[in-house]
Structure 1
Amino acid sequence: MWSYITSIFGYFFKLQEDEGREKLLIEELIDLKLELEREEFHNQNIENKVQESSQQSECFQRTGFVTHCGESYILIDGSFYFDTSACSFNLNVNDKILYLGYNNSNEELVIVRILQNEGIGWENEDDSEEQRFDVINHIIVGIVDCREDRNVFIQGGDLKFNLDDVQGTFIPIAGDWLEMQCSIQKNDEKLTDINMTQVLQVTHFRPLRTKIKSGTVTEWSGKVGIIDNQIYFDSSTFIETFIPQVGAKIKYLRLIFNAMGLPQPKIGTVEEFQGQERPIILITTVRSTESLIQQDIKYTLGFVNSPKRLNVAITRAQISMILFCNPHLLSTDSLWNEVIMNAVNNNRYMGCYFPIEEK
């Protein structure tokens, strides 16, 4: 009788416990959904404000003279202050320099960076040069090098920003990938060749959660175009068989390299690399479903039971080859099994468990 009573109590209490967990899970999901909606709304508002405020702005490249050198700053032409903590140039008094700057909303001169040190000059030389550029909004991708107090430094140049001057949803640390909304110096001659030296100001940042992004083609001239009104690209960005159209929804990886100022990688099938070499080759063998292997073999698809494709794939790298695969599936092919075992035996294997014994 006692066991019967306890079982009934156990049943009802367990039921209540499950209901409580279910209710808690629903509440957590609702909170998460609201947080994501707030973040998306917050980001959209920021981007709209940025576009409105920067649309008609101008910047310039101008020559000047270093008139004073401090411990981590210089004065240009006797009155313009510039922080040299992230500057890569060795600057001395009387050096003639070329700098990038703009006038802010208060018509105050803001010097962004030193572009060139032309060496010793004379202050009384009447040869000050200036070239003006339009300002556009663009997304730059970068990796946080370090953070000192509220200042965030980005790898690969002198780009930095203060957390008090930008809009963001978190505090970044070293190693974080950031997608940064920036005001950019527009260069009509190299519209799609944008790098960090053209950044005037970081206005907003958020974490880059994926290297594959999606967007909408908003402009396309046949040679150059714009995605989401803020990412410029040219025809070399896409695979040869793709023709962009205005309004098309696309996913892109190569534009990440554009945004980081890196050269475009070649992306294609193994056959496209026949007779070519590259310093570093990344191979993905695509399949991870055993039921499709026989279909691949029948129609000569994929990598299993295809020694010629394997030979081309693993002989293209000059320095390093990185293979992404399902080892349990790929090792059913005796040749690929030797490739995988070679990596295992030389401590070059990383990932899921794979038996050491050769198959």
Structure 2
Amino acid sequence: MLSFIHTLIKYTLGYKSSSKDESDEINSVIARIENAYEEETRKGERSNKDTSYKRGIITLITTDYLVVDEFYVCDVANISVNNLKVGDKVCYSLLMERDNHEEKHKIKIISVINESWGDAENSEVDIVKPQTLTRCIVGKVMERKNRLLVVEPNNITVNLNKVESEFIPVIGDWLQLETEVEIDEVSYNLNGEILEIKKIQPLRSRLDVGTVTSFDLTKEIGVIGKDTVFNKRICESGYIPCVGDKVISDSIESDQGFYTWRSLTVVPVLQVSFT
């Protein structure tokens, strides 16, 4: 990647030799790109997750959730069995998520147990685990509320605190979601229930050299070429864009009105104010 950037900058600046001063300048630009990229990127440690299958007794039922063994809370959306009542013995899957701050759990009711338990009351259940597969879903960000995204189609909610991502999406961005889905007899075309969203990344990205064609100092919004929009906050620290500047832009596909790309990083190569 760095060798590509090196070649791109040399081509843009019209270098014909490889003197030490020129190499130093190229390396300096590369370092600025890396620093700007690190400022935009927010990486979190992925949670350590374990799934087990257990038995339990329903001890409370409300309109929105039920409680198993007076401890595990199960949302209505994760209940696949009808007509449950307090005292029913059930099989359930237990997903434990551990990170540096806390331990969370999520359960899903799989079935009701009618037979006698014997001595297996606290043992793990010997049942067939649901079939799962990794599926990539393409969608566009339609809403964003703090760290929550709503992606269409299918009204998928993405919690940025729980997924791996190398950038912060905004409304209009086209994404590729790496998900784990459950496949059962009612799943069509491998479209199962989404159990987990593991990673999000841009649908398409590009790194190229362009010219700043407009910049609104008040709104701090600018355009590179004809199709790439950027915000001043993603520019290299201290850089104030001017029309005519040559810049390197790391951008992703995004529906931003008249523009189809959104820049994540902008680093100046040649500034008109210094020529």
Q: Which has the higher strand share?
A: 2
Q: TM-score, normalised by structure 1?
A: 0.31
**Larger RCO: 1 or 2 (CA < 8 Å, sep 6+):** 2
TM-score of the superposition, structure 2-length normalised?
A: 0.38
| Greater helix fraction, Structure 1 or Structure 2 | 1
Larger radius of gyration: 1
